[in-house]
Amino acid sequence: MNTAAFALNLAVTAAVALTVLLTAFVAGVRSGRHRGVDTAWGLAFTAVALSGFALSDHHGDPGRRLLATLLVTVWGLRLSAHLWWRSRGAPEDPRYARMLSRAPEGPARTRYALRIVYLLQAAIVWFVSLPVQAAQYLPHPPGALAWAGTALWTVGLFFEAVGDRQLARFKADPANRGRILDRGLWRWTRHPNYFGDACVWWGLFLLAADSPVGWAFVLSPLLMTYLLAFGSGKPMLERHLAPERPDWAAYAARTSGFLPLPPRHLPAPPRTPDPGPRR
């Protein structure tokens, strides 16, 4: 790997991620809604991958560069399109409303949103995408680990796309208002889309892991998995759902929280003894 060229790449991609998220910040301030940052999330990863592809020309293996860029672009554009479609015309996301309520209204809240929502996400985008950027600079063709990573990426995209589609169809039926989706992939895990996202980024890490330098970036998929399973993903969403869905507790008791597993068979509640006729 050409370390000087890669160092320049890291600086440029940091600026690219920051530019995308700052653009989303301006749009959020103008609209009064910050949920658009979710759409910018996938676009920022795509912009970083495309920038790395251009900068790594004549440095990395063409096949590996193209593979890494294509996988991130497909994932990022699908996710952004899905989140844009889901949020069009909707009010502020309750997650961001609660988060931003910690700061007083006015300029202080705007500055808080910039730091906690946008600048933090720009830094995460850059850090999580480090294995992809490294893969684009590796000089040898993809090996067995890279193709295994592509297979894992495919599994992840399946869980994300199918899970999102199943949830969208479920919510589109007015008869399901206030109910919990417990069919399809959602029967096996409470968060098939978050599980799929983790698989995607572990798969992308494997594109760089068939070179010793790639293992220097193992913290990137670890961070993404932590955020999804223990940080701003699963826990934050479940705190919002639990008080709003009467059947949430029963669903959570029988359904795996992250990894797809067979539903647990819970014992039936004990029957109340018949007290007999009253005297």
Sorted by sequence, the CB contacts under 8 Å of residue 28 that are 6+ apart come out as 34, 35, 36, 37, 113, 118
The Cα–Cα gap between 82 and 96 comes to 19
| Burial of 271 from C-beta contacts in 10 A (0-12 / 13-18 / 19+) | exposed
Residue with more model confidence, 98 or 252: 252
Residue 153 has pLDDT above 60, yes or no: yes
Q: 279: pLDDT confidence band, cut at 50, 70 and 90?
A: very low
55-74: pLDDT as tens digits: 999 899 999 999 999 999 99
Residue type for position 16: V
Does this model's pTM top 0.95? Answer: no
Residue with more model confidence, 191 or 106: 191
9-24: pLDDT as tens digits: 999 999 999 999 999 9
The token pair that represents 210 in the structure block:
């068939």
**Which of 56-70, 166-180, 239-253 tops mean pLDDT?**
56-70
Q: Write down the pLDDT at residue 267.
A: 61
Taking residues 89-106, what's their average pLDDT? Answer: 79
Q: Helices 120-128 and 3-31 meet at what angle, rounded to 10?
A: 150
Q: Write down the pLDDT at residue 266.
A: 64
Please say whether the dihedral angle defined by the alpha carbons of residues 16, 20, 25 and 26, taken in this order, is positive or negative: positive
Mean pLDDT of the chain: 89
Q: Write down the pLDDT at residue 192.
A: 95
- Among 131-135, 198-202, 250-254, the range scoring the smallest mean pLDDT is 250-254
- Return the closest-CA partner of residue 97 out of 151, 46, 140, 33: 33
190-199: pLDDT as tens digits: 999 999 999 9
Q: Write down the pLDDT at residue 234.
A: 86
Alpha-helical (H) ranges within 88-143 are 94-100, 107-113, 120-128, 130-135
Residue 275 has pLDDT above 70, yes or no: no
Taking residues 106-129, what's their average pLDDT? Answer: 92
Taking residues 233-242, what's their average pLDDT? Answer: 81
The Cα–Cα gap between 157 and 202 comes to 12
Taking residues 160-170, what's their average pLDDT? Answer: 94
DSSP state letters, 2-46: -HHHHHHHHHHHHHHHHHHHHHHHHHHHHHT--TTHHHHHHHHHH
Taking residues 106-115, what's their average pLDDT? Answer: 88
Taking residues 204-208, what's their average pLDDT? Answer: 96
Taking residues 20-44, what's their average pLDDT? Answer: 91
